[in-house]
Amino acid sequence: MKGTSTPVAHTPVMLDEIVSGLAVKPGGLYVDCTLGAGGHAEAVLEAASPGGRLLGIDADPRAIRIAERRLHRFEGGCALVNDNFGNLKAICLAHGFAKVHGVYFDLGLSSMQLDEPSRGFSFQRDEQLDMRLSERQALTAADVVNTYPVEELARVIWAYGEERKSRVIARRIAEARPVKTTGQLAKIVERALRLPRQRVHPATRVFQAIRICVNDELRNLERALQQALEILGKGGRIAVVSFHSLEDRIVKNWMRQEASSTVYNAEMPLASTERIPALRIITRSVVTPSEEEIERTPRSRRAKLRVAERL
């Protein structure tokens, strides 16, 4: 695992767009729910000076250590917490961040996590299957791959990876157990799909699905979005950068729901009630990176930004 000497090499995605979307102002209170190496936090703190404060949250303890060094000059202006953003409201209240001016998320893995040996996030190297954001988590990728029944494994691959051949892949994985490394898993998926060589590796969706399952990413996102609404002050903004359709769909639907004046009853589709909207959507259409940023940071090509304001 990575030590504290790892250099800061991660380039924050859509940095200017996030700072602009949040309408950062001096003296404001801001919450970075996915701290990473602290690139977004640094820019927000600079824009919020003088007097601005930031609470940074990350489930990965290595990210906290890296960000601490980067944000050292803002000592007293920021608090960094090693926790999952699914506990957002409790974390904020414990650190005096209520009625904040902005909350933002940069979802997905950072390049430093993908590139770090022994984390098991990538199939570019042959590593132990892990994929946990924090060692405090019990479930690992190896557990999912080697112990889930075939039907449950297929459900995970379909639900979180949107892989159409999930059943075929799940059966091939079960036949090859025990699967111990990322390289083994990638080869099993390649053989199961039998696809011609292409730019996107055929195991990409499967790795995404298992990682989401291990870290319970989508359910934590749903929980965090609702909690963000509760801690935002009037006029406060929420900005979310997502990297795949599952995340973006959750964010888009949640913002639309909270910006609507009508509440529908799921059990009675024709029944509805009127209410005062909680949000105003700022980005009427999704914001994507500039061509210059995509050329500079290829991983940003899938990024989608949505912003809304608390009413």
Q: Which of 218, 39, 182, 31 is nearest to 112 (CA)?
A: 39
Mean pLDDT on 218-229: 97
246 and 160 in contact (C-beta within 8 Å)?
yes
pLDDT at 70: 94
Higher pLDDT: 173 or 133? It is 173
Alpha-carbon torsion, ordered 22, 253, 270, 263, to 10 deg: -30
How many Å is the Cα radius of gyration of the chain? Answer: 20
Q: Could you please report the per-residue DSSP string of 27-86? A: T-EEEESS-TTSHHHHHHHHHTTTT-EEEEEES-HHHHHHHHHHTGGGTTSEEEEES-GG
pLDDT tier at 5, thresholds 50, 70, 90: very low
| pLDDT, tens digit, 9 for 90 and up, residues 34-65 | 999 999 999 999 999 999 999 999 999 989 99
pLDDT tier at 198, thresholds 50, 70, 90: low
- Residue matched to tokens 């953003």: 85
**Predicted structure pTM score:** 0.89
The neighbouring-strand residues paired with 268 are 265
Q: Which of 31, 57, 61 is nearest to 44 (CA)?
A: 31
What CA–CA distance (Å, rounded) separates 102 from 31? 6
* Two tokens, residue 118: 């022994």
Domains of the chain: 15-112+217-310 (3.40.50.150), 122-215 (1.10.150.170)
